[in-house]
């Protein structure tokens, strides 16, 4: 469980030299983001790198972290790379496969039994190749990383879109697909288009019911789910320094919901205190010695408009608690306006379930603030009206809050403590409901609330708020209740009002744990055997994807023209499908089953041009593949937003889809497609989306001269004999074009390792 102190020393030793070189190359003062990115460039060419938003740049991350669902495919790919050990410190965290159903102990026991094959594979492959392994029950990847591995000024990639959580400790931490993780573990540079920079200046100080969660809920309302795309968000100002390190982690975590590459705060006394409180005083000492490099230059923060592409200012003193939703995390409502919004929009006012915790809000501070509200339910004789669940973020937090009596407080109000895992946040939740067709409302302290995200039910209106606001709503059972102003009738018939929440940033007695759940790898992994049963329905060794045939791609059928929002949840659902994350063929049976077909406004129903009949998307695609016919998927704006899951790219590749044509891509998904040798292209004119008809035969021309910045051409052959032709764009650079030609980046890695 060591935090690689020698590696951190090496990073800090070069900071002064690298920052000085960056200043010389750019001739200007630097943001924190620029300092960290420059310190991790592989070639040291700041002149190229600081052409922001233009060039792809190679970086050398300090570490890799993977959650169990995505780690399966990433490690199956890594096994093909030919390396005896990972090239950078890497860890696997078993947090996604535990279904929340009854309670922590029973659910964890069931998960260990049901997922034994997968856990054994992950443990053995970690043992063999030198990865740290966090067992099921140890906690959620992002909380465990914050407690053990994140360090100011570092750079990390993780196979989960909420990897930016580590930005709360001043780390550039970026969510990626498993193929990117595989590359870095294999010792290759990691490529990123140099981002734009958004500065968020925080003034004032939080008080009362307002919390760090409300900062990001407010920012999401300002920027929307696309406003941060291609950008890193850097928070600064006196308000930023007043926030706890875990509060900053909450803000950075949910920055994924605005499409940001990552979010970050500078190193300050709050970060130092958290490092020391989590037994990393050595890191705090090292950081203190280079602290001027672990925050932006004073001149930057004094005149932010000169250094950031966009600047937002939020006064924390005036910030109201927010509730965001339903169905999207950027529909932001100040608490004073939320009740009116509920009534005017006809959303179900009765609250059925309140859920707190998750990777976004499960710190000691979060739990204590929520518990201070929960205690009032007991003390003031209030009967909790909604179901209430608590998901601790790690065994360290769970053990500590249990020691300090807070779990008993939740039990007294009727709360159920779930396992230290993602659970309901990602759809791993056996929802207790008597009528799944009823429109209903739930509220969580999670990060995402897309339709069907939590419980697979399109009728569930999911809202997002801070843990303390969620707790108050669970007590009231009514979404028109405002805990800041309204009273509740208790069991004695009295009108009582909830007091403001009170929390503790760090446990007074310090953190404690008996078994954190960590397994160190073998010193010599050469003798460790990784077994995958050929008959397994959960795990499947990979075969390389085929290389490009060297010609234009013609005669494609339209598999689906997706209408509206099409996230990675629509492309490759989570929930019960998580059990197939290590078996590409089996999980491909969920491909695009959540996407809405433009031509019939129905999910999982597309026309098979070979039969003329409508059927499920995966079955239709398998029929095309069996007949040797390639297909194309057409999508709308921000296609592939949401979770980083590379399965959303691998499944179409595996089943024979040749290209994805959309109005715009979410960053991680576009990269995932490129890694798998898939052609991802965008309409030069978004109105051309309307030209695509259900019965079209489609050609993609220009591939024989495929080059960076050079448009391709799409030709539509309509059923009536007419044609349409239009230009399409791409963002492939020279290296990525080689991935396409080779059939995937892994094919090139394998060839390099073999030579």
- By annotation, the residues acting in catalysis are 95-96, 160, 448, 643, 645
What span, in angstroms and rounded, lies between the C-alpha atoms of 474 and 357? 14
Helix (H), strand (E) at residue 105: helix 104-114
What span, in angstroms and rounded, lies between the C-alpha atoms of 697 and 554? 8
Query: How far are the Cα atoms of 681, 697, 698, 718, 729 from residue 630, in angstroms, in the given order?
Result: 16, 10, 10, 17, 20
Query: How far are the Cα atoms of 50, 147, 170, 397, 571 from residue 144, in angstroms, in the given order?
Result: 33, 5, 16, 10, 28
Query: Tell me, what's the pLDDT at 53?
Result: 42
* Residue 36 tokens, joined: 């960290």
Helix (H), strand (E) at residue 463: strand 460-464
What span, in angstroms and rounded, lies between the C-alpha atoms of 664 and 500? 44
What span, in angstroms and rounded, lies between the C-alpha atoms of 727 and 725? 7
Task: Kindly report the CATH number that applies to the domain delimited by 326-497.
Answer: 3.30.499.10
Return the CATH fold of 5-315. Aconitase; domain 3 (3.30.499)
Give me the residue spans of the domains in the chain.
5-315, 326-497, 553-754
Query: Tell me, what's the pLDDT at 44?
Result: 54
Quick check: 177 and 212 in contact, CB under 8 A? no
Percent of the chain with pLDDT over 90: 78
Q: Is 733 exposed, middle or buried (0-12, 13-18, 19+ CB in 10 A)?
A: middle
Helix, strand, or coil (residue 444):
strand
Query: Tell me, what's the pLDDT at 54?
Result: 47
**357 torsion bin: left (phi>0), alpha (psi -120 to 50), beta (else):** left
Q: Would you tell me how many other CB atoms lie within 10 Å of the CB of residue 672? A: 28
Domains 5-315 and 326-497 share a fold: yes
List the Cα angle 258/261/263 in 5-degree steps. 75
| Three-class DSSP labels, 22-35 | HHHHHCCCCCHHHH
User: What is the value of pTM for the model shown?
Assistant: 0.85
What span, in angstroms and rounded, lies between the C-alpha atoms of 92 and 149? 12
Taking the mean position of all CA atoms in its chain, how far away is CA 594?
19
Q: Name residue, tokens 């390396």.
A: 83
Say which residues have a Cβ less than 8 Å from residue 355's Cβ, sequence separation at least 6: 388, 389, 391, 424, 442, 443, 444, 445, 446, 454, 470
**53 torsion bin: left (phi>0), alpha (psi -120 to 50), beta (else):** left
* Residue 278 tokens, joined: 């989590």
Query: Which of 639, 681, 672 shows the shortest CA–CA distance to 653?
Result: 672
Rounded average pLDDT per 10-residue block, the chain, 755 residues: 80 90 87 94 61 68 94 90 90 89 86 91 96 95 96 96 96 92 90 90 98 98 92 98 98 95 98 97 97 97 97 98 96 98 98 94 97 97 95 94 97 91 82 87 92 88 97 98 98 97 97 95 90 91 93 98 95 86 95 98 97 98 98 97 85 98 92 94 98 98 97 98 98 93 87 75
DSSP state of 604: T
Distance linking the first and last C-alpha atoms of the chain: 35
Please say whether the structural domain 553-754 has been given the CATH code 3.20.19.10: yes
Query: Which of 611, 574, 613 shows the shortest CA–CA distance to 593?
Result: 574
Query: Which of 635, 617, 740 shows the shortest CA–CA distance to 678?
Result: 740
As a whole number of Å, the CA-based R_g of the chain is 25
Say which residues have a Cβ less than 8 Å from residue 266's Cβ, sequence separation at least 6: 32, 152, 170, 236, 240, 294, 295, 296
Query: Tell me, what's the pLDDT at 48?
Result: 56
Query: Tell me, what's the pLDDT at 2?
Result: 56
Does 674 sit behind a cis peptide bond, omega within 30 degrees of 0 on the bond before it?
no
Say which residues have a Cβ less than 8 Å from residue 27's Cβ, sequence separation at least 6: none
Query: Which of 654, 674, 677, 670 shows the shortest CA–CA distance to 548?
Result: 677
Query: Tell me, what's the pLDDT at 436?
Result: 83
Residue 92 forms beta bridges with which residues? 66, 133
């Amino acid at each position: 469980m060591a935090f690689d102190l020698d590696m951190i020393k090496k990073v800090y030793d070069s900071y002064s030299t690298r920052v000085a070189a960056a200043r010389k190359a750019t001739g200007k003062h630097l943001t924190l983001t620029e300092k960290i990115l420059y310190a991790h460039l592989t070639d040291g060419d700041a002149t190229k790198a600081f052409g922001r938003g233009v060039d792809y740049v190679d970086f050398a991350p300090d570490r890799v972290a993977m959650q169990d669902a995505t780690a399966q495919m990433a490690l199956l790919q890594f096994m093909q790379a030919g390396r005896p050990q990972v090239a950078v410190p890497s860890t696997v965290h078993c947090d996604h496969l535990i279904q929340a159903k009854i309670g922590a102990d029973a659910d964890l026991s069931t998960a260990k039994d049901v997922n034994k094959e997968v856990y054994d594979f992950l443990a053995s492959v970690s043992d063999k190749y030198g990865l740290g392994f966090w067992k099921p029950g140890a906690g959620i990847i992002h909380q465990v990383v914050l407690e053990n591995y994140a360090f100011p000024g570092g750079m990390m990639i993780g196979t989960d879109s909420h990897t930016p959580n580590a930005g709360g400790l001043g780390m550039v931490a970026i969510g990626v697909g498993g193929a990117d993780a595989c590359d870095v573990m294999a010792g290759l540079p990691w490529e990123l288009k140099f981002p734009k920079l958004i500065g968020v200046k925080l003034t004032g100080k939080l008080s009362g019911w307002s919390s760090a969660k409300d900062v990001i809920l407010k920012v999401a309302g300002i920027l929307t789910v696309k406003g941060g795309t291609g950008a890193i968000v850097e928070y600064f100002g006196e308000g930023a320094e007043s926030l706890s390190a875990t509060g900053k982690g909450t803000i950075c975590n949910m920055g994924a919901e605005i499409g940001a590459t990552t979010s970050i705060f500078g190193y300050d006394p709050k970060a130092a205190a958290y490092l020391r409180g989590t037994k990393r005083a050595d890191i705090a000492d090292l950081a203190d010695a280079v602290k001027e490099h672990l925050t932006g230059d004073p001149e930057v923060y004094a005149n932010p408009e000169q250094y950031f592409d966009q600047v937002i200012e939020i006064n924390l003193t005036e910030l109201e608690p927010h509730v965001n939703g339903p169905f999207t995390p950027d529909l932001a409502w100040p608490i004073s306006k939320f009740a009116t919004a509920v009534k005017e929009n006809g959303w179900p006012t009765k609250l059925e379930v309140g859920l707190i915790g998750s990777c976004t809000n499960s710190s000691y501070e979060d739990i204590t603030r929520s518990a201070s509200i929960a205690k009032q339910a007991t003390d003031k004789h209030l009967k909790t009206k909604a179901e209430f669940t608590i998901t601790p973020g790690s065994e360290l937090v769970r053990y500590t809050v249990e020691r300090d009596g807070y779990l008993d407080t939740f039990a007294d109000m009727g709360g159920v403590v779930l396992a230290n895992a993602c659970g309901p946040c990602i759809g791993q939740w056996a929802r207790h409901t008597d009528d799944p067709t009823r429109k209903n409302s739930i509220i969580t302290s999670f990060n995402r609330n897309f339709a069907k995200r939590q419980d697979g039910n399109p009728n569930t209106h999911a809202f997002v708020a801070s843990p303390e606001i969620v707790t108050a709503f669970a007590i009231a059972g009514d979404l028109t209740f405002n805990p800041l102003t309204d009273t509740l009738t208790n069991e004695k018939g009295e009108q009582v009002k909830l007091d403001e929440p009170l929390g503790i940033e760090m446990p007074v007695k310090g953190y404690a744990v008996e078994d954190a759940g960590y397994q160190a790898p073998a010193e010599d992994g050469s003798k460790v055997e990784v077994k995958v049963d050929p008959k397994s329905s959960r795990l499947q060794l990979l075969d390389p994807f085929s290389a490009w045939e060297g010609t234009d791609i013609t005669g494609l059928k339209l598999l689906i023209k997706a209408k509206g929002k099409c996230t990675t949840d629509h492309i490759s659902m989570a929930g019960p499908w998580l059990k197939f994350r290590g078996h590409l063929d089996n999980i491909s049976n969920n491909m695009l089953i959540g996407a809405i077909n433009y031509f019939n406004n129905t999910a999982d129903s597309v026309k098979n041009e070979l039969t003329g009949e409508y059927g499920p998307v995966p079955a239709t695609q398998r029929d095309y593949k069996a007949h040797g016919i390639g297909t194309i998927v057409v999508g709308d704006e921000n296609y592939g937003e949401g979770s980083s899951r590379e399965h959303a790219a691998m499944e179409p590749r595996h089943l024979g889809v040749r290209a994805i044509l959309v109005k715009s891509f979410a960053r991680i998904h576009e990269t995932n497609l490129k890694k798998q040798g898939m052609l991802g292209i965008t309409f030069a004119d978004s109105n051309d989306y309307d030209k695509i008809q259900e019965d079209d035969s489609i050609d993609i021309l220009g591939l024989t001269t495929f080059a960076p910045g050079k448009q391709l051409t799409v030709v539509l052959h309509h059923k009536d004999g007419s044609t349409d032709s239009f230009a399409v764009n791409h963002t492939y650079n020279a290296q990525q074009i080689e991935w396409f030609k080779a059939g995937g980046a892994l094919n090139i890695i394998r060839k390099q390792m073999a030579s």
